[in-house]
Chain A
Amino acid sequence: MHLLRTDSGADGRDSRPPVSEQIPLGLTAPSMDHLDQLEAQSIYIFREAFGRLKKIALLWSLGKDSNVMIWLARKAFFGRLPFPALHVDTGKKFPEMYRFRDHYGKEWDLDLRVEPCPPIDAVDATLPPAARSAARKTEGLKMALGKFGFDGLIAGIRRDEEATRAKERVFSPRGLEGNWDVRDQPPEFWDHFNASPPQGAHLRIHPILHWTESDIWAYTKRENIPIIPLYLSQNGKRYRSLGDQDITNPVASTASNIDEILIELEQTKVPERAGRALDHETEDAFERLRVAGYL
């Protein structure tokens, strides 16, 4: 039997009432939908990070995910971002992204810190070209860590983006060199997080690890969060994921608004990061980057 992937089951087995109708009404609160649940979980994570670590910053890459993150943080802290937003700048982003940063950095009243990355020559020459380019960001991140002494960095990675990221913890310890030891991750359950990095090391905190690409768009639409127009189709192409100009390519798409993006995502089997050159160079390039401290 090959299952249908449409919403109504061919054999009618989904004719039961939706879960929300099974709850007796009365003194009950309005039931939470999927996005409400994701939001509540992310807020919980933000508050844990802020409460349990001494000095944290949010990594703002200007993309759709980190914009949702900033929005969630402002929900968690009643309109504020009570810690810096750190943009580790490769200097090679799209002009639209810089405009977005400068505008919303002010409008959202962010404590914005822009930190440059070292030149390409300073990076591991054995990595393939795109990965080497991306590795500049890892180095820039390390320099920023050294400069400010953060013990926690909030990053907008998601489990569904990429197989390596699926293995992440919500509070993910990094070694003294910023490296990630995938084999020795501490247990994490019942929303109890390991929040004590060793002296000199830091934690990565992933408040939207449990979100999907569709969740991000559906929430962006619901909350009316501003986006960079590069995500929308122009001349039959759009960016699904925004990185450096030289290593990010648009995908074929006619989706010119968020509703159309959601429909497109429903049907596509093309991976989100298909336009990211560094993901396709060798089987292990991305993992090597992540073990070294890439996002």
Chain B
Amino acid sequence: MNMIVTPASPATPNGTTRPQVRIVIVGHVDHGKSTLVGRLLHETGSLPDGKLEMLKAVSARRGMPFEWSFLLDALQTERDQGITIDTTQIRFRTNSRDIVLIDAPGHAEFLRNMITGASQADGAVLIIDALEGVRDQTRRHGYLLHLLGVKQVAVVVNKMDRVDFSADRFNEISDEISAHLQGLGVKPTAVIPISARDGDGVAERTDRIGWYKGPTVVEALDQLEPARPLEALALRLPVQAIYKFDDRRIVAGRIESGSLIAGDEVVIMPAGKIAKIKTVESWPVTPVAGRQGAGRSVGITLDRELFIERGDIIAHTNAAPRETRRLRARIFWLHDKPLAKGDQLLVRCGPKESRATVVAIEKAVDPGELSSVENKAIGRNHVGEIDISLSNPIATDPYTENPRTGRLVIEVSGRIAGGGLVLSVDAGQRAVPVDIVPVESALRLDERSARYRHNGAVVWLTGLPASGKSTLAKALERRLFTNGGSPILLDGDTVRAGLNSDLGFSAADRSENIRRLAEVATHLARNGHIAIVAAVSPAREDRAAARRIADTAFREIHVATPAGICEERDPKGHYKKARAGALASFTGIGNDYETPQAAELVIDTSTRTVADAADEIERMLKTTGVLFDELVDLAANI
């Protein structure tokens, strides 16, 4: 059953263009969204002939008084439940606009549908029951409009007939909601008193709201502007795919902002590789000349063969996005299980996806509550700010600089579980100097991880001499290898014999020793191997530097065997020599070992067997996403 057939396309034969504006009506359940929609359709002459009469007849047959909301409740299931379930799209016209109305459910259970609807909107109408006033879902929806980037918001205070069209009551609600919205950086375009049921304020300023001088709902809708493509911003072309259907190698994607033309010099982020756009390919006519702007789905060829993959961002060389493995985001959460610190996720930023870990959770609140009680985890339908560390570097922008590339979604078990805005990007220390062009492996990480059944990692064993680091390292190496993995042992002493033979034991040399170990280990980890580093690494600062280099790949294990037992073991005779004064700068008998404070794992080898300790390391590597423990995980990674 089709309800509305008024064509809304500006592509009319006489060539007129009317701006098309997509709007969403949101607010608390039962505050009258469907009634307002029904009334709007009637007032704008958008109902098919006979439709109103037909519905009135249906109502009479069912023995119910006619309600405007029946117009929307066209589905049997909805009529039975008495609430609007999902997003429907309805079209009508105001004087100068084609309106696509996305109805979004107010029921808290259906927040995911409200978000699905509202994310497509240019503007929003937030509806409030004059009798009930601002409710939790009113505030929640207001907050979500802000997170979804919907800037144009008109507020309607409905059911004014229930409060005798009281200007005082209206002003009270108007003040409260305006303050709430302005706190979020959203300024309402209008606050309008209406009775959707009787028609006051919808298309007409009736006598009963004679004290109100602002626009009607229809007039407010007529003032909305369609969202514009972001052509004025820097070029961002996220790569969707690379096609080789014939001898052309076409890089395909949609220009999210800015514009491009053949001949432009571009940089492919996050790798930082530079190329020139050779052609802009199309069909049926190709290549196409001229500039291509934001919003276009394009295909380009480059002047050289580079390794490019889905999710890379093509930008102009002078205005590239930031490369990062760590960012802060303000998100809404839709999943049943609350989001907590340490959770492993899949993050999508445009076509780019990366496994990620929640490093910190700040400001987790229910945006519906007046008093914001801070939580440690972000519950379903709540919002919060999180720090995320990504296993692959991505190119992104803060949303204040680019609202298209500065947003992300979070997936759990293959289903979208949340989304939000990139607040800031920690560009880290790894900015690629312009004249260094690192050569990249021809193998993709997912090819390697599919074979090894693990991601790359740096397992860093720190502890006193003779604490058991090398023994554990070798046991772990054997175990990973037996399971088909690719472990590589980097023993501090062994590396000192070669690569680091120029280094002594001064504080500066020790730091450099650790830096080189960390760089080599990180290189191995980036290529899918598990580098097992066994090094005393007594200085907290040096270990922190190693963690910065390896970033999310870093797993620190403190081998915390008590000093007395280490000295008793003394397999290399170092403690004895040191006691005798024959070994300068020996860590162990002084207080110069700085104990780790946030290691991923602490193991005391004096109280357990080597196998038992290796088991525990393996468990830690599984829970932190290095080892795949089941096939599902493997599939998700390919």
Q: Which residues of A contact B4 (CB under 8 A)?
A: 160
Contact digits for B102-121, partner A, Cβ 8 Å, 1 yes 0 no: 00000000001101100110
Additional A-B contact list (10), CB under 8 Å, known A271-B1, A273-B2:
A16-B96, A29-B296, A32-B293, A51-B310, A74-B283, A78-B282, A189-B416, A194-B414, A214-B12, A263-B13
Indicate if the CB atoms of A196 and B20 lie closer than 8 Å: no
How many of chain B's residues touch chain A, expressed as a range?
35 or more
**Pair B88/A189 contact, Cβ less than 8 Å:** no
Q: Are A29 and B291 in contact (CB under 8 A)?
A: yes
A–B complex contacts, Cβ < 8 Å, 11 sampled: A2-B43, A28-B259, A28-B291, A32-B296, A76-B252, A186-B112, A187-B112, A187-B116, A194-B416, A259-B13, A272-B5
Instruction: Check A77–B296 contact: CB distance below 8 A.
Output: no
CB distance from A52 to the nearest CB of B (A): 9
Q: Residue B250 at the A interface, CB < 8 A?
A: yes
| Chain A residues within an 8 Å CB radius of B393 | none
Whether a CB of chain A sits under 8 angstroms from the CB of B527 is no
Quick check: A286 and B1 within 8 Å, CB to CB? yes
- CB pair B231–A28 under 8 Å, yes or no, is yes
- Give Cα A265–Cα B436 distance, bound, in whole angstroms: 60
Query: Contacts A163-B1, A215-B11: A1 and B243 contacting too (C-beta < 8 A)?
Result: no
The residues of A that contact B75 with a CB separation of less than 8 Å are: 163-164, 284, 287
In the complex, how many angstroms separate the beta carbon of B347 from the nearest chain A beta carbon?
A: 11
CB distance from A210 to the nearest CB of B (A): 8
Q: Looking at chain B's contact residues, is the secondary structure mostly helix, strand, loop, or mixed?
A: loop
Of the candidates A4, A18, A259, the one whose C-beta lies within 8 Å of that of B95 is A4
B148 within 8 A of A: yes
Partner of B414, one of A78, A196, A259: A196
> A79 and B293: CB pair below 8 A?
no
A33 sits at the interface (CB 8 A): yes
Instruction: List which A191-231 residues lie within 8 A (CB) of chain B.
Output: 192, 194-196, 212-215, 218-219
CA distance A230 to B595 in the complex (A): 82
Give which listed residue, B16, B228, B240, contacts A47 with CB less than 8 A.
B240
CB distance from B196 to the nearest CB of A (A): 16
Q: Which of B13, B119, B409 contacts A262 (CB 8 A)?
A: B13
**Does B49 sit within 8 A of A, measured CB to CB?**
yes
A185 at the interface (CB under 8 A from B): yes
Question: Are B11's CB and A270's CB within 8 A?
Answer: no
A9 at the interface (CB under 8 A from B): yes
Nearest A residue to B241 via CB reads A51
Q: B499 an interface residue at 8 Å Cβ cutoff?
A: no
Structural contact, A36 and B296, CB atoms closer than 8 A: yes
User: Closest CB of chain A to B48's CB: distance in Å?
Assistant: 4
Interface string of B23-63 (1 = CB under 8 A from A): 00000000000000000000111011100000000000000
The answer to whether A212 and B94 have CB atoms under 8 Å apart is no
B-side contacts of A192, CB under 8 Å: 348, 409, 416, 419
State the 10 A-B residue pairs at the shortest beta-carbon distance, nearest first. A29-B293, A196-B414, A14-B96, A189-B119, A271-B2, A187-B112, A9-B95, A43-B297, A218-B11, A284-B76
Which chain A residues numbered 163 to 186 have a C-beta less than 8 Å away from chain B?
A: 163-164, 166-167, 169, 182-183, 185-186
Q: Mark A38-67, 1 if CB is under 8 A from B, else 0.
A: 011101100110110000000000000000
- Chain B neighbourhood of A51, CB < 8 A: 240-241, 310, 351
With an 8 A cutoff between CB atoms, is A10 at the interface? Answer: yes
Whether A167 contacts B86 in the complex (CB less than 8 A), given A1-B218, A187-B334, comes out as: yes
| Contact status of A1 and B204, CB under 8 A, knowing A162-B1, A166-B89, A269-B49 | yes
Asked if residues A212 and B9 are in contact (CB atoms below 8 Å), the reply is yes
Residues of chain A contacted by B228 (CB below 8 angstroms)? 19
CA–CA, A19 and B225, complex, Å: 9
In the bound complex, residues from chain A placing their C-beta under 8 Å from that of B86 are 167, 182, 185
- CB contacts under 8 Å to B, within A102-123, are none
Q: A43-B297, A182-B86 are in contact. Are A262 and B218 (CB under 8 A)?
A: no
Residue B407 CB within 8 A of the other chain: yes
Contact A19 B19 (CB under 8 A): yes
**Contact residues in A for B259 (Cβ distance below 8 Å):** 27-29
Inter-chain contacts of B491 with A (CB < 8 A): none
Kindly state the separation between the CA atoms of A279 and B120 in the bound complex, as whole angstroms.
28
Closest to B286 in A: A78
Map CB proximity to A onto B278-289 as digits: 1 under 8 Å, 0 otherwise.
000111101000
Q: How far is the CB of A206 from chain B (nearest CB, A)?
A: 13
Q: Is there contact, CB below 8 Å, between B409 and A14? A: no
Q: Given the complex of chains A and B, what is the CA–CA distance between A41 and B407 in angstroms?
A: 18
A residues within 8 A CB of B148?
189
B291, A27: Cβ atoms closer than 8 Å: yes
> Could you tell me if A13 and B96 are in contact, using CB atoms closer than 8 angstroms?
yes
Over the window 1-26 of chain A, the binary record of Cβ atoms lying under 8 Å from chain B Cβ atoms (1 yes, 0 no) is 11111010111011010111001000
- A213: chain B residues at CB < 8 Å are 5, 7
- A34 CB within 8 Å of chain B: yes
Taking a contact as CB atoms under 8 Å apart, the answer to whether A266 and B241 are in contact is: no
Please tell me if B8 contacts chain A, counting CB pairs below 8 Å.
yes
Contact (Cβ within 8 A) B113 A9: no
Is A214 within 8 A of B7, CB to CB? yes
A188 touching B116, Cβ below 8 Å: yes
Q: Is the CB of B45 within 8 A of A3?
A: yes
